[in-house]
Amino acid sequence: MCGIVAAVTQRNIIDFLLESIQRLEYRGYDSSGLALINKNNNFIRVRCIGKVSQLIKKTKNKKLFGKIGLAHTRWATHGKVSEENTHPHISSHIAIVHNGIIENSFQLRLFLEKQGYIFYSDTDTEVIVHLLHWEQKKTGKSLLEAMHNSLIRLHGNYSMVVMDTHNSSRLIAVCSGSPLIIGLGIGENFIASDQIALLNITKRFIYLKEGDIAIVQPEQTQIFNKHNSIVQRKIIQSDVQYECVKKGKYKHYMEKEIYEQPTSIRNTLKHRLKNNKTIDFPELGVQEKNIFLHLEHIQIVACGTSYHAAMVSKHWFESIANIPCDVEVASEFSSRKLAVRKKSFFITLSQSGETADTLTALRISKKLGYLGNLTICNMKGSSLVQESDNCLLTKAGIEIGVASTKSFTTQLTVLLMLVAKIVSIKQKKNDIEKKIVKILNILPYRIEEILKKNQEIKNIAKKLYHTKNMIFLGRRDQYPIAMEGALKLKEISYIHAEAYPSGELKHGPLALIDKNIPIIITAPNNSLIEKTKKNIQEICSRGGLIYIFSDAEMNLEKNITLFKVPYVEEIIAPIFYIIPLQLLAYYIALSKGTNIDQPRNLAKSVTVE
């Protein structure tokens, strides 16, 4: 959430700032702004509400020039969406852009007001920049020392970049609880919240660690860790292609990412399926495999779409591996006193690896005596990856659409491989692993097949886009799929949707059924189909409007529409059945004309708790 870009160079960086901040728009898009230091050593600041395209318009013909600058795209947490609240904020000779929340900003604001500071915004960010100014003025020392002193007073999660007209050849970056990376150029250096912003300039990145403060100059960078010692951080060569961040032939990133799923899954499987028989995670060492042998319980913590993937895997861990598994939403896990099960192993799931709630849960878990921990994540170098003992990358490729799609199906792919690996290690035989490998090899082909049925989904979407409410139903491993389908619809089409386990309908929600509320049911032809058919009858008898996604034969009564799903092996049915629901949400939103890649109020990578 909130995108930050900064540069210190030997050339005019206005075009770079605008282009790069636009690429971070998926992180926040209620307003954006930039500041430069010009030839006369003054700040030039331009801000506006709305999308970055507005900022581009506003800067056009202004002939802006600066070799050092900051830019920001905002997702408001403190103060409404207004130009005054848009970053950068300035206190005398210091300018700041910030991502995160200062929890004690109210108290600090009162204190600073008493010292004579005038606030022009309602943000917590302006508190930081005045505090910095006050600290520096008080001691007369460097901005770096003022930064150290100010950080002691700030409570919360934040990353920020500041620049200073008293020393206009360096940026100071702080990373604490939200990601920041340094992009290394030749005679110029950059800072951003995400490598996507910098890929057209450099592929060499330093991921700042929790508590790091970096001084970034055109020719060098110096990093201090949280103990104020100078440290060398690893330079990572990114393998992400700049092309990946373009839409290509697609109208939206979400559409592109839905259709990319067969390729993403192939990439997830690549180098991990050995001789088409066994699964190999080269990332895991002997020690981890030893932990797998001894674990007796799995605790998974995640948010949003990742939480739904975790719920599917609970079914796999328990039914295939006979390992008890609990799944909890990260913010809940962190909000209560926990009793840890015996020999429990802790797993986190996150696309970005920066989800603040999940990171907090991981940090809490480390004090609770789990056997070990593992994160399943899409972003190499992210905070979750850095802070976890082990990591399995999903390799979905960069996901830009705010509504996750390919990260969900690749998370499920990794989870299923993990289940198979753990079963083999524990049972010391690999027949289940072999069977799962065989099925996983088929999965991308199966998905290609269902994607071809997009026209049928478009037709259903045309019938549904006027609706105000929908109910999604699924049983067992399809219940999380119903939840994920409902979430996709809510996120991008703003239609109210709720998901229930099919059997729960009669315990309350049946009261909602009438001809105006469409019911979406995913029902693979397995041992549960007869029970689901009974639920369908219950809805039919009450005049409900039913859309069934199934490979089973159905008695098609007047109000029933059947989307015939091609055959799929039972074990991978959850990964398969989400595809038509993703398409349905997408085509409904397309018909409604909503902003699909940047839905209102949402941002990708939720870096605030």
As annotated, the active-site residues are 2, 604
Does 303 participate in binding ligand HGA (rule CB under 6 A)?
no
Q: Which is nearer to ligand HGA, 461 or 606 (CB)?
A: 606
Minimum distance, C-beta of residue 1 to ligand HGA, in the bound complex (Å): 3
Q: Which is nearer to ligand HGA, 80 or 466 (CB)?
A: 80
Does 522 participate in binding ligand HGA (rule CB under 6 A)?
no
Q: Which is nearer to ligand HGA, 361 or 606 (CB)?
A: 606
- Cβ neighbors of 271 (< 8 A, separation 6 or more) are 280, 282
Minimum distance, C-beta of residue 135 to ligand HGA, in the bound complex (Å): 20
Residue with tokens 């491989």: 417
Angstrom distance (rounded) from CA 114 to CA 111: 5
Does 43 participate in binding ligand HGA (rule CB under 6 A)?
no
Does 355 participate in binding ligand HGA (rule CB under 6 A)?
no
Angstrom distance (rounded) from CA 128 to CA 137: 14
Angstrom distance (rounded) from CA 376 to CA 412: 10
Does 161 participate in binding ligand HGA (rule CB under 6 A)?
no
- With H, G, I as helix, E, B as strand and everything else as coil, classify residue 503: helix
Does 295 participate in binding ligand HGA (rule CB under 6 A)?
no
Of 92-100, 322-330, 355-363, 475-483, the window that binds ligand HGA (rule: CB under 6 A) is 92-100
Does 2 participate in binding ligand HGA (rule CB under 6 A)?
yes
Angstrom distance (rounded) from CA 273 to CA 279: 5
What does the CA dihedral 345, 351, 354, 357 come to, rounded to 10 degrees?
A: -60
Among 75, 281, 317, 576, binds ligand HGA (CB under 6 A): 75
Q: DSSP of 418-430, one letter per residue?
A: HHHHHHHHHHS--
**Residue 37, beta-bridge partner list:** 43
Of 95-103, 129-137, 194-202, 515-523, the window that binds ligand HGA (rule: CB under 6 A) is 95-103
The runs of H, that is alpha helices, within 190-303 are 253-259, 261-269, 286-294
Does 505 participate in binding ligand HGA (rule CB under 6 A)?
no
Among 76, 206, 487, 581, binds ligand HGA (CB under 6 A): 76
Does 78 participate in binding ligand HGA (rule CB under 6 A)?
yes
Angstrom distance (rounded) from CA 477 to CA 311: 8
Distances (CA, A) of 112 to 93, 192, 425, 499: 17, 29, 60, 48
Angstrom distance (rounded) from CA 520 to CA 502: 10
The number of residues that bind ligand HGA (CB under 6 A) is 18
Does 98 participate in binding ligand HGA (rule CB under 6 A)?
yes
Does 100 participate in binding ligand HGA (rule CB under 6 A)?
yes
Q: Which is nearer to ligand HGA, 78 or 148 (CB)?
A: 78
Q: Do residues 68 and 36 make contact, with C-beta atoms less than 8 angstroms apart? A: yes
Angstrom distance (rounded) from CA 85 to CA 74: 9
Does 608 participate in binding ligand HGA (rule CB under 6 A)?
yes
Q: Give, as ranges, the residues between 55 and 74 that touch ligand HGA (CB under 6 A).
A: 74
Minimum distance, C-beta of residue 587 to ligand HGA, in the bound complex (Å): 30
Q: Give, as ranges, the residues between 112 and 131 that touch ligand HGA (CB under 6 A).
A: 123-125
Q: Do residues 392 and 245 make contact, with C-beta atoms less than 8 angstroms apart? A: no
Q: Do residues 550 and 450 make contact, with C-beta atoms less than 8 angstroms apart? A: no
Angstrom distance (rounded) from CA 90 to CA 108: 17
* Nearest position to ligand HGA, beta carbon: 1
Q: Which is nearer to ligand HGA, 123 or 502 (CB)?
A: 123
Angstrom distance (rounded) from CA 531 to CA 544: 18
403 φ, ψ to 5°?
A: -80, 115
Q: Which is nearer to ligand HGA, 406 or 604 (CB)?
A: 604
Minimum distance, C-beta of residue 604 to ligand HGA, in the bound complex (Å): 11
Does 202 participate in binding ligand HGA (rule CB under 6 A)?
no
Q: Which is nearer to ligand HGA, 45 or 426 (CB)?
A: 45
- The residues that touch ligand HGA, with contacts defined as CB under 6 A, are 1-2, 28, 74-79, 98-101, 123-125, 607-608
